[in-house]
């Protein structure tokens, strides 16, 4: 059956198509330069090494123009973080920069400090240059920015609900003093803030150069053409999907005292190919929980869009035009929706939020092949926990940092195996795995081992990524580790006949060599001589395992991701070692007999 045809009006072009291509690239280049400024000037490893940051350009009326190498969760609803600025201030001036990290004024969660600078040209505001960074510390009672047990905002770090931090190009020292006083590593915090300020100023300078060269009217005409193009591309891709309503449900792990039975996450999408529109409905979810796992309006909206974009052609511009074809329905007071003040939202960018994106990825699989993907692992195993302590090599100077030593694998999709360095759905592989040597040079820790854990992936015609595991420990001091390892109770599931992945695991090996299993959501003190051992989740499989190409099974075994025993048992593939090449190869006759049986 052929796909319905969306009838689009012939577009009215405002700028020459070649100039449109040039300006698209110029805007992207500006965002890339802003990103490099943040990376090079920041002091926290979580920003400059792991790249937990995003930059973007919006129109002054809060429509996303361009973003590049950004984490999806940071930018898909960035307009919600800038809109309150124009609602709260009637004296916005050239050279101002505003700071917003409050989920109740459109922020993602309290650890993501969002800097927004209006760009004036010929006396009129035209754009916003925005730089977002995840900060290592915001002064919460627990030395972490992820607080699943924090019932409300009073138990979280400091909130800046749209505060003017730079006024007409001059930093407001009183605001900066407030932030530094409420921080365990104030100098690092201030350096990271100034890196964002520098990125906003860079964006302003480059946009003014562009406006001087091409003129205000040309750039604004380009923006409208760019949005129209994004909408047309999204509508054309949605037109290829089956019409109807589709639902999927996942479940976040139990969290003692917060959600004893876990948190079910339900999603329904209504696909209208004729209109080129998808409506995502998450209203059928439980009320806010007494902890930090509640989503913010920003993360809920963005994650509903991310699941859809993950199932459309990757050439679609991620701009306001494309976003406009995805409608989101949520309700206030729901754990998956708009939070009701003052519930906690400190974990709003990961965990339940990851489960929402996973559901959005997987709901398309209910359409049947080749749609959708399998469930992936999610954030915050012990391998990407927040470490803190007093550095014995720097006269007891305190440190706080989120490490990215090892993280979860991605789920498979039709035609593709899972992404090994996926980390979690909220960033989709854009968080960088830490360098062992850099981490050890910056912080008093040793990363003893890190590697793929065989047989942890979901099997299938297309195989989920295996888990990463490792061992790390403090040097000559007591280190505190805070983590929230979702996927310990409910590991990622496969779809359309694919197998489930193995669960996450956290443990500590004592000085006597005894291994003690640790809770999934936990703050643990690790003394000198003790070691943290962890395994993150793998990703789920897609499709019936016996349909997998036997040569791909052999390749997984050769690289150490799958055992030969699992290949025989799960895939019905018999392997032998090629003595000359030193790799596993398929025993064709034995495999044919196994699969025939």
Taking only the tens of pLDDT, the chain with its 597 residues reads: 344 444 455 567 899 999 999 999 999 999 999 999 999 999 999 999 999 999 999 999 999 999 998 999 999 999 999 999 999 999 999 999 999 999 999 999 999 999 999 999 999 999 999 999 999 999 999 999 999 999 999 999 999 999 999 999 999 999 999 999 999 999 999 999 999 999 999 999 999 999 999 999 999 999 999 999 999 999 999 999 999 999 999 999 999 999 999 999 999 999 999 999 999 999 999 999 999 999 999 999 999 999 999 999 999 998 999 999 999 999 999 999 999 999 999 999 999 999 999 999 999 999 999 999 999 999 999 999 999 999 999 999 999 999 999 999 999 999 999 999 999 999 988 999 999 999 999 999 999 999 999 999 999 999 999 999 999 999 999 999 999 999 999 999 999 999 999 999 999 999 999 999 999 999 999 999 999 999 999 999 999 999 999 999 999 999 999 999 999 999 999 999 998 888 999 999 999 999 998
**Residue 205 CB contacts under 8 Å (≥ 6 apart), including other chains:** none
Query: So what's the pLDDT on residue 581?
Result: 87
For residue 97, give both structure tokens: 């920069």
Decide: residue 564, CB within 10 A, 0-12 exposed, 13-18 middle, 19+ buried: middle
Query: So what's the pLDDT on residue 8?
Result: 52
Is residue 423 within 8 Å of 349, Cβ to Cβ? Answer: no
Please tell me the distance from the alpha carbon of residue 592 to that of residue 409, in angstroms, as a whole number.
31
Please tell me the distance from the alpha carbon of residue 418 to that of residue 540, in angstroms, as a whole number.
8
Instruction: Record the pTM.
Output: 0.96
Neighbours of 100 (CB within 10 A): 28
| 3-state SS string for 525-554 | EECCCCEEEEECCCCCCECCHHHCCHHHHH
Query: So what's the pLDDT on residue 4?
Result: 44
CA-to-CA separations, 400 to 58, 320, 396, 471, in angstroms, rounded: 32, 37, 13, 19
Query: So what's the pLDDT on residue 3?
Result: 41
Query: So what's the pLDDT on residue 579?
Result: 85
Locate the domains of the chain by residue range.
17-229, 373-548, 549-596
Is residue 189 within 8 Å of 117, Cβ to Cβ? Answer: no
Please tell me the distance from the alpha carbon of residue 536 to that of residue 556, in angstroms, as a whole number.
19
CA-to-CA separations, 386 to 332, 380, 461, 475, in angstroms, rounded: 30, 9, 36, 16
Query: So what's the pLDDT on residue 10?
Result: 57
Q: Whats the size of the chain, residue-wise? A: 597
**Residue 316 CB contacts under 8 Å (≥ 6 apart), including other chains:** 230, 233, 234, 237, 309, 322
Please tell me the distance from the alpha carbon of residue 34 to that of residue 116, in angstroms, as a whole number.
12
Three-state DSSP class for 386? strand
Alpha carbon 180 to its chain's center: 27
> C-alpha angle 212/218/220, rounded to 5°?
100
Three-state DSSP class for 570? helix
| 3-state SS string for 196-265 | HHHHHHHHHHHHHHHHHHHCHHHHHHHHHHHHHHHHHHHHHHHCCCCCEEEEEEEEECCECCCECCCEEE
């Amino acid at each position: 059956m052929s796909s319905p045809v969306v009838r689009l009006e012939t577009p009215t072009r405002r700028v020459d198509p070649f100039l449109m291509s040039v300006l698209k690239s110029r805007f992207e280049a500006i965002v890339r330069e802003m990103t490099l400024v943040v990376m090079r000037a920041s002091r926290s490893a979580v920003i400059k090494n792991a790249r937990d940051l995003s930059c973007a350009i919006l129109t002054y009326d809060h429509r996303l123009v361009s973003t590049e190498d950004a984490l999806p969760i940071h930018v898909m609803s960035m307009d919600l973080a800038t809109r309150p600025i124009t609602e709260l201030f009637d004296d916005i001036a050239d050279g101002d920069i505003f700071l917003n990290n409050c989920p109740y004024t459109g922020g993602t969660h309290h650890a993501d400090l969002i800097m927004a600078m209006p760009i004036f040209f010929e006396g009129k505001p035209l754009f916003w240059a925005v730089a977002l960074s995840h900060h290592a510390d915001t002064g919460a009672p627990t030395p972490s920015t992820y607080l699943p047990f924090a019932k409300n905002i009073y138990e979280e770090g400091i909130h800046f609900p749209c505060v003017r931090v730079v006024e007409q190009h001059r930093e407001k020292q009183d605001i900066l003093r407030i932030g530094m006083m409420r921080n365990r590593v104030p100098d690092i915090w201030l350096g990271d803030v100034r890196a964002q300020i520098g990125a906003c100023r860079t964006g302003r300078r480059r946009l003014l150069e562009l406006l001087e060269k091409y003129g205000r009217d040309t750039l604004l005409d380009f923006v409208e053409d760019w949005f129209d193009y994004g909408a047309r591309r999204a509508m054309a891709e949605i037109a290829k999907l089956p019409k109807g309503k589709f639902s999927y449900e996942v479940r976040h792990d139990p969290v003692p005292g917060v959600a004893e039975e876990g948190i079910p996450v339900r999603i329904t999408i209504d696909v209208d190919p004729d209109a080129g529109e998808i409506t995502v409905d998450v209203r059928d979810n439980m009320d806010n929980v007494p902890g930090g796992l509640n989503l913010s309006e920003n993360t809920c909206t963005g994650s509903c869009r991310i699941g859809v974009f993950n199932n459309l052609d990757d050439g679609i511009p991620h701009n306001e035009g494309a976003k406009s074809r995805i409608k989101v329905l949520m309700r206030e007071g729901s754990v998956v929706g708009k939070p009701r003040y003052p519930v906690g939202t400190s974990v709003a960018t990961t965990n339940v939020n990851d489960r929402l994106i996973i559901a959005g990825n997987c709901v398309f699989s209910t359409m049947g092949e080749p749609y959708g993907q399998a469930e992936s692992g999610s954030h915050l195993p012990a391998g990407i926990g927040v470490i803190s302590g007093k550095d014995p090599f720097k006269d007891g100077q305190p440190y706080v940092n989120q490490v990215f030593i090892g993280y979860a694998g991605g789920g498979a999709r039709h035609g593709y195996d899972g992404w090994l360095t996926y980390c979690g759905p909220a960033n989709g592989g854009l968080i960088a795995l830490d360098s062992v040597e850099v981490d050890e040079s910056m912080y008093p820790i040793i990363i003893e081992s890190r590697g793929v854990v065989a047989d942890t992936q979901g099997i299938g015609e297309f195989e989920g990524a295996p888990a990463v595991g490792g061992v790390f420990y403090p040097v000559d001091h007591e280190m505190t580790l805070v983590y929230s390892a979702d996927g310990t109770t409910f590991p990622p599931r496969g779809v359309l006949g694919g197998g489930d992945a193995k669960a996450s695991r956290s443990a500590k090996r004592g000085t006597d060599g005894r291994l003690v299993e640790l809770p999934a959501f936990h703050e643990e003190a690790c003394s000198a001589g003790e070691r943290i051992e962890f395994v993150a989740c793998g990703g789920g499989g897609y499709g019936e395992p016996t349909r997998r190409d036997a040569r791909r099974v052999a390749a997984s075994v050769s690289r150490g991701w799958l055992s030969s025993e699992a290949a025989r048992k799960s895939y019905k593939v018999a392997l032998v070692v090629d003595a000359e090449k030193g790799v596993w190869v398929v025993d064709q006759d034995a495999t044919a007999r196994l699969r025939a049986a």
